[in-house]
Amino acid sequence: MTGPNRELARQMQQRNRRYLAAVQHWPAGALEACVKLDSEHAGWVTFWRPANTMTGFEKPAGFHAVRHPDGAEVFAATPAEVSTGIEQTPPPRTDI
């Protein structure tokens, strides 16, 4: 996605994240941590996720970052761990 479409997508992600933070009652500071992670890691979008207790899909609460366009993911309990995971993620492939 390029140009105005990329900016529109970024604005929608930010609005959606603020909405999720409000309705899911994110812990204090989680929204700000996500915004900070995004600003430090271009191409990544970060959300806080509540614990998933569905059998077979269990995950503790924590931060979830996704890189666009390849969909690489990092899930960790703290913003610092997410940042480290992002930095250790190989760059997206360009040869395909």
Q: Is 4 left (phi over 0), alpha (psi -120 to 50) or beta?
A: alpha
Residues 30, 21: contact at Cβ < 8 Å? yes
Enter the tokens of residue 75. Answer: 């899930």
Please give the model's pTM, rounded to 2 decimal places.
0.83
Q: What is the pLDDT of residue 74?
A: 97
User: Tell me, what's the pLDDT at 80?
Assistant: 98
Domain ranges of the chain: 3-88
Strands 62-67 and 44-49: antiparallel
Q: Which residues of the chain have pLDDT under 50?
A: none
pLDDT attached to residue 3: 60
Residue environment code for 9-22, b if the CB has 16+ CB neighbours within 10 A, otherwise e: eeeeeeeebeebbe
pLDDT for 92 equals 87
Q: Look at residue 14 in the predicted model and tell me its pLDDT.
A: 81
